[in-house]
């Protein structure tokens, strides 16, 4: 992991809403149990918007930052975008922080 | 630890030089063995400036950000400022990240 990649990951986590989203996506069956589509697709952007109570464009921006940092991936199914957490990236980040600090 | 405190800690770590400084201060006897003052005072700002190769004002700004976030403390002895790492704050931060993510 380069310093630039790590910087981008750290910046992605510097907003509490983005940490919340990442945490919710850890247990989608706990936080998004009412989603109609299968949770195996990931969590629909609209459900994440709802849960944050923020506008679609604001949440879309937060999701883009998390995705650019590698913490989440998206999958388009029909007209919907589904997001899932990249557990390996989260764990690699935590290990890197343990080592660097 | 409040979300605001955590945000400030994360932002403090979003620059590689600040992560380096924190890491050097973990083992001052390894990185600053040539300091004339006792390392028990901490590491003199001037030695940190030298090691980064950056200007005094730039490094002073990085140190202030680390100090505001609680990661380091300073101690004034005579005309010198000495910095030390707050190990408890670093460990509390790492635990909080493990929990929140």
**A12-64: pLDDT as tens digits:** 999 999 999 999 999 999 999 999 999 999 999 999 999 999 999 999 999 99
pLDDT at residue A2, as a whole number? 87
**B45-60: pLDDT as tens digits:** 999 999 999 999 999 9
Asked if B64 has any chain A CB less than 8 Å from its own CB, the reply is no
- Catalogue all structural domains in chain A, each as residue range(s) with its CATH number: 3-100 (1.10.10.10)
Contacts 24+ apart (CB under 8 A), A16-20: A16/B3, A16/B6, A16/B7, A17/A52, A17/A54, A17/A62, A18/A62, A18/A65, A18/A66, A19/B6, A19/B100, A19/B101, A20/A52
ipTM: 0.82
**Cβ-based contacts of A10 with chain B (< 8 Å):** 10, 13-14
């Amino acid at each position: 992991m380069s310093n630039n990649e790590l910087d981008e990951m750290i910046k992605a986590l510097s907003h509490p809403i983005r940490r919340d989203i990442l945490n919710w996506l850890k247990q989608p069956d706990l936080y998004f149990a009412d989603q109609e589509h299968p949770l195996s697709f990931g969590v629909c952007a609209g459900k994440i918007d709802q849960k944050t109570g923020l506008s679609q464009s604001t949440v879309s921006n937060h999701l883009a930052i998390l995705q650019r940092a590698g913490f989440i991936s998206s999958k388009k199914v029909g007209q919907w975008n589904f997001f899932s957490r990249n557990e390996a990236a989260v764990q690699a980040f935590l290990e890197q922080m343990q080592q660097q600090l």
